[in-house]
Structure 1
């Protein structure tokens, strides 16, 4: 039996998927596949008085992981009716000398167990965060990339009549918490790769500034502001060393991209030199390339640049406005917003073949995408109800759902996803 592993696009070559047989499966192009599974409780699990509720929790997390389609799922985007299962997922209640635990075992359709992960029960119960971790680990063993359940999204939140603040929430719309602690409008949060710091842009009567928040109650720091030699500032994107960022700075009225060292605070290094506006940079995972937005072609289009050569190449050429580009975690895809029929919609593209796919099709704006840490989902801001809210979709455009449970009149924009769980 061959088991397909989720994959994106291989750089200039095909991707070899992991299998549990001698058969080799080659996947290339913009692709997204999920395991079709049958979730089966064993006798002890099924006899537990909370079995029905527990199975609903498992169903939700298996679905929201972006890794599985489940037969008889309650979620339309994850139903696997009419599909032959690739495998079984066995939910088992096991008693040990150290207490009871729930085991999630991956088995072939003949019942032979391939792998399993355990979760301890506390007083005969478990928290849903435990199921998130369980599913994350099973996904990691099957595909080599753990799922992102329970990870954190930072975003701008505006209560009616008040300024925008930076807030954070997890993948299940829980653990909502304010982050920014200042009297200014706060926008564009960007997590450091280690999830320990956050930069964001503030707007006040004095102009714009870039703030650094190390979290854990540490004082916030002003990195760059309009009071200095630069005009409009906004940022940014992080290098893997958690010490350098790329951001947009305006000098003499011209916006370009600069590299800035947070530790040394040395003079920012200019990366683009053009008379038109360059903004919205996003650094590829290899830290060698950036994608950004520029109006060099007349309208906002996406451009690609190798940092060592400084030569920029245009990626999009149509007459529509293209913005908000972000690299996928494996560096093979770019998600972005594109103006279609007067509405912003989410697209993904392979920057090397120029193959693209439209993910959203609503009669409303969908913009500012951000990838989940495992690259299987995207979060973005959309206004189907008139007010911008955060939504999540699978990378094939299916399974769109509200991320938050915040009241309708609150506006949610500018999401950025971190692998860290708070």
Structure 2
């Protein structure tokens, strides 16, 4: 920041050319000063495209600013306007401390939206990457905005984006003692929500497939917990044949999407099993006189993290996907549950219960560097973490206690910064973040 400030002073006062370092936002666990960016309203290339251009510009800005890593410079501060596909007036943008400039153009014609954009490093006076053109139907304009924001985010941070993604969750309505719960899906930012089940029976813990086209969940439709698989496009659900037992619950897909890993209670004992969806072949992965549940696979599919009370309290363990002796990784005070392996493979997110409070936390896969990302007060319970596709952000649900309270979705950066509520219609719980859309 100091180097760029000096470069700006030299340009303003001496008018001399300055060699500046290429723009790159390095994300660390320390305090980050949000990077200032400008995004003039995208041009309408065809008459009648003005509203669409303004809406796309707004969503891109909301995506970037919502990360807490970027700060939008208001248009009232602009010294000059920019015409798309012309060289920016860099001195004008440097004078208001713009570090990244995003420009674009929009055309709506024949039921399609065409978006063009460019990203500039203002201090080096160079374009970052190549300009791009994206096309979609008019109904897909928000996805186009998210895709542009993902490109900008990736070029500046060096990480993949997560804006063009969806979240599956349980939408809840009605009084606390008689809640109606349905599986619902929405964009990552809470928009375009729609129900996928009818709410005729209790549903729990929906989980996306690796490709985002299917969802596993637990339902009481038959009277006892049973695992179902839902097709996202058709909203048609079918039961999964599990190993024989009294209750099957807490399912997740394998990394290839061909198998289901889950908990099965039989004879008063709960263990982790895996079933091949196509063949119906079952494999028992744990065999202990304790409760094993909440399995989540590593990104390469070779290991499983799960929760167990085999030590006397609820703790986290890791074992090979083929089974075998697990190793304990949680050793702090309190109880640990709902583990989820990061897409990057380096961290495990979890819910921690200690001293009457529920927190969302992360730790290394060897149990080191544990840190809590949410510190809910005595009036809230935080639980059920799920990872953004790039492993940078965690979404979870926060339950408000009391007669009129209910759950809401929140997101937080893995550094613990930027805790935000995710908009939803009514109460929402049990989120599962899907992959980037194709």
The TM-score with structure 2 as length reference comes to: 0.76
Aligned to 1:216: 233
8 Å contact kept, 1:100–1:124: no
Note the 1:190-205 alignment, pairs <5 A: 190-204=207-221
8 Å contact kept, 2:329–2:367: no
Equivalent of residue 325 in structure 2, options 295, 311, 317: 311
Seen in structure 2, the aligned counterparts of structure 1 residues 67 and 119 have a Cα distance that, compared at 3 Å, is farther
Note the 1:14-413 alignment, pairs <5 A: 36-39=35-38, 41=40, 56-64=58-66, 66=67, 68-70=69-71, 72=73, 87-93=99-105, 101-119=115-133, 127-143=141-157, 145-160=159-174, 161-181=178-198, 183-204=200-221, 206-217=223-234, 219-224=236-241, 229-266=244-281, 268-308=282-322, 310-352=324-366, 354-363=368-377, 364-384=380-400, 386-407=405-426, 411-413=427-429
Following TM superposition, by how much is the alpha carbon of 1:109 offset from its aligned partner in structure 2, in angstroms?
Answer: 1.1
1:230-273 CA deviation, whole Å, 9 max, x = no partner? Answer: 0121032222221112100112211000111001012x201111
8 Å contact kept, 1:346–1:360: yes
Structure number with the higher helix fraction is 2
Farther off after superposition, 282-291 or 31-40: 31-40
Aligned to 1:17: none
Cα distance between partner residues in 2 of 1:143 and 1:338 = 30
Aligned to 2:86: none
8 Å contact kept, 1:358–1:397: yes
Aligned to 2:434: 418
Following TM superposition, by how much is the alpha carbon of 1:56 offset from its aligned partner in structure 2, in angstroms?
Answer: 4.3
- Give 3-state SS (helix, strand or coil) of 2:368's partner: coil
Aligned to 1:14: none
Farther off after superposition, 186-195 or 84-93: 84-93
1:51-106 CA deviation, whole Å, 9 max, x = no partner? Answer: 88765433211123x383225479xxxxxxxxx979422324499xxx98542313
Seen in structure 2, the aligned counterparts of structure 1 residues 292 and 130 have a Cα distance that, compared at 3 Å, is same
Cα distance between partner residues in 2 of 1:154 and 1:181 = 15
Seen in structure 2, the aligned counterparts of structure 1 residues 152 and 53 have a Cα distance that, compared at 3 Å, is closer
Cα distance between partner residues in 2 of 1:371 and 1:330 = 10
Cα distance between partner residues in 1 of 2:209 and 2:258 = 9
Report the structure number with the largest CA radius of gyration.
Answer: 2
Following TM superposition, by how much is the alpha carbon of 1:27 offset from its aligned partner in structure 2, in angstroms?
Answer: 9.2
8 Å contact kept, 2:135–2:144: no
- Give 3-state SS (helix, strand or coil) of 1:59's partner: helix
- Give 3-state SS (helix, strand or coil) of 1:91's partner: strand
8 Å contact kept, 2:136–2:144: no
8 Å contact kept, 1:117–1:134: no
- Give 3-state SS (helix, strand or coil) of 2:240's partner: strand
Following TM superposition, by how much is the alpha carbon of 1:291 offset from its aligned partner in structure 2, in angstroms?
Answer: 0.7
- Give 3-state SS (helix, strand or coil) of 2:129's partner: strand
Cα distance between partner residues in 2 of 1:153 and 1:343 = 26
The TM-score with structure 1 as length reference comes to: 0.79
Cα distance between partner residues in 2 of 1:170 and 1:146 = 17
Seen in structure 2, the aligned counterparts of structure 1 residues 73 and 253 have a Cα distance that, compared at 3 Å, is farther
Unaligned runs of 5+ residues in structure 1 are 2-19, 75-83
Cα distance between partner residues in 2 of 1:34 and 1:261 = 48
8 Å contact kept, 1:39–1:90: yes
Cα distance between partner residues in 2 of 1:33 and 1:273 = 47
Cα distance between partner residues in 2 of 1:392 and 1:112 = 34
Seen in structure 2, the aligned counterparts of structure 1 residues 236 and 323 have a Cα distance that, compared at 3 Å, is same
- Give 3-state SS (helix, strand or coil) of 1:173's partner: coil
Cα distance between partner residues in 1 of 2:219 and 2:207 = 13
The alignment of Structure 1 onto Structure 2 pairs a total of residues equal to: 385
- Give 3-state SS (helix, strand or coil) of 2:418's partner: coil
Following TM superposition, by how much is the alpha carbon of 1:150 offset from its aligned partner in structure 2, in angstroms?
Answer: 3.3
- Give 3-state SS (helix, strand or coil) of 1:190's partner: strand
Aligned to 2:10: none
